[in-house]
Amino acid sequence: MYFFKYQKPGLLEFNMLRRGEIFFASPSELNDPNECRPRYLLKGSEELWQRLARFVLQNVIFHSERFSTRGLEAVGKLLSLSDQIGTQLKLAVRNRDLGLEELADVFINILAPLVPIEKTFDSVHLARLVKEFINGKLPAFAAENRFISAFSLSATNPTMWGHYAGAEKGFVIVYGTEDDTIHVRSPIRVLDGCRPLNKNGDRMELGTYDNDCLQLHRVRYGVCPPKANLFRRIAHRFSYSEQEDHYDVPAMIIDDAAEKQEGLIGLVKYSGWRYEQELRAFLLVHDTALPDLRVLSASKSITGLIFGPRMSDQDKARAVLCCRMMKASQQQLAEAVDQSADPFVFFEARSQISRFGFDVLPVGILTGHYSKSGLPFMPVSKADTAIQKQVMKMAEQVSDGK
């Protein structure tokens, strides 16, 4: 299968092409403000509701100077309401899904009659802090460090060429995969994962590595974000005793929360983006990663490049040189074209006359030779017959998006 990345003819894009690099962006760095936004619901056991109530009160009390300085007895009295609040929340919700947007009002209606009418507490201020925490901060606890690199399954979409390839003046990088993965590597160990220790795969190790094969996922399009049970995202942050930690209660308690569509977070976009035919790879890290750590080489998966219809001759020459330097850094490029089982192919997108769209035609092959007098580029017509057939078959698949 071939997949594609549209690029503008800019200095950054040529630099990344020279290294075969791709960037993994955080949801906030992408051009859709709804990226990775789920519809948070709450559905769980009475114990989960009780632990949630305690979690909310702890964060409100210990992050508010007005309440945290009231003394241990006053704070303990307020926290002791957690189980009662949790039980009443479960009774109020029963077995229905409660939207996160409803939680603050339900929580406050239950909390208000329970707060002792003393000078120790300011119930109005407490209710405001609870609402601010639930609506403003609680969703942040559910977020995970997930970074995205986006591709397309189409190399001939005029809108994509206009939006992402400098109004047809840029280029499209062609990637190939046989197992729906993309191989990435980093100069340093930044890729967290789990790998077998032996050929049988019966022993595994957790570690941080400098290379990995990341699964490619097809994006779905619709008008509703995926639903996610908030309990499944934040239960590990609740308070547990040492004994509970020892007996893996944090892991087991997740079973009390019904699973929704958590696996679709980051894979559902508004239907208006359908033209992108997007394919995604995710970089998962345990800690927040600085942007420089999220630039990884994927040169092993790059098999060709498509020149844009309006791409200048100078930019085409730059692209050819960048591809030669990228392949040279891999030390995988054969010295002679006829020795290469999988030639690196250059295509050209040409506008169709009778309709909006493009034909993708092969124009050359990357060679292992470079001199100041000539580019490492051989026209397809000068390649041997076997390679010409291979290139034409690739051109058909690239045009069809297969």
pLDDT digits (tens, 9 = 90+) for 274-319: 999 999 999 987 667 889 999 999 999 999 999 999 999 999 999 9
- The answer to whether 55 touches 239, Cβ cutoff 8 Å, is yes
Residue 278 in tokens: 């997007």
What is the model's pTM?
Answer: 0.87
Beta bridge partners, 281, equal 149, 216
Confidence of residue 75 (pLDDT cuts 50, 70, 90): confident
Select, from the ranges 74-83, 91-100, 115-124, the one with the highest average predicted confidence (pLDDT): 91-100
Give the phi and the psi of residue 59 in degrees, each rounded to 5.
-65, -40
Percent of the chain whose pLDDT exceeds 90: 66
d(CA 367, CA 354): 35
Picking from 402, 282, 302, 286, the residue whose alpha carbon sits closest to that of residue 344 is 302
* For residues 256-273, average pLDDT: 93
On the question of pLDDT at 122 being above 80, the answer is no
Q: What is the pLDDT of residues 109-120, one digit of tens each?
A: 999 888 765 555
Q: Which range among 4-18, 55-69, 126-140 shows the weakest confidence by mean pLDDT? A: 55-69
Percent of the chain whose pLDDT exceeds 70: 92
Give the phi and the psi of residue 289 in degrees, each rounded to 5.
-105, 130
Burial class (CB in 10 A: 0-12, 13-18, 19+), 14: middle
d(CA 121, CA 67): 7
3-state secondary structure the chain: CEEEEEECCCHHHHHHHHHCEEECECHHHCCCCCCCCCEEEECCCHHHHHHHHHHHHHHHHHCCHHHHCCCHHHHHHHHCCHHHHHHHHHHHHCCCCEEHHHHHHHHHHHHHHHCCCCCCCCHHHHHHHHHHHHHHHHHHHHCCCEEEEEEECCCCCHHHHHHHCCCCCCEEEEEECCCCEEEEECCCCCEEEEEECCCCCCCEEEEEECEEEEEEEECEEECCCCEEEHHHHHHHHCCCCHHHHHCCHHHHHHHHCCCCCHHHCCCEEEHHHHHHCEEEEEEECCCCCCHHHHEEECHHHEEEEEECCCCCHHHHHHHHHHHHHHHHHHCCCCCCHHHCCCCCEEEEEEECCCCCCEEEEEEEEECCCCECCECCEEEHHHCCHHHHHHHHHHHHHHHHCC
On the question of pLDDT at 70 being above 70, the answer is no
On the question of pLDDT at 23 being above 70, the answer is yes
Count Cα neighbours of 233 within 13 Å in the Cβ-side half-sphere: 24
Q: What is the pLDDT of residues 197-241, one digit of tens each?
A: 877 777 888 888 899 999 999 999 999 999 999 999 999 999 999
User: ∠ at Cα 247 (245, 249), nearest 5°?
Assistant: 65
Cα-to-chain-centroid distance, residue 229: 20
d(CA 369, CA 336): 8
Report the largest interatomic distance among the alpha carbons of the chain, rounded to a whole angstrom: 91
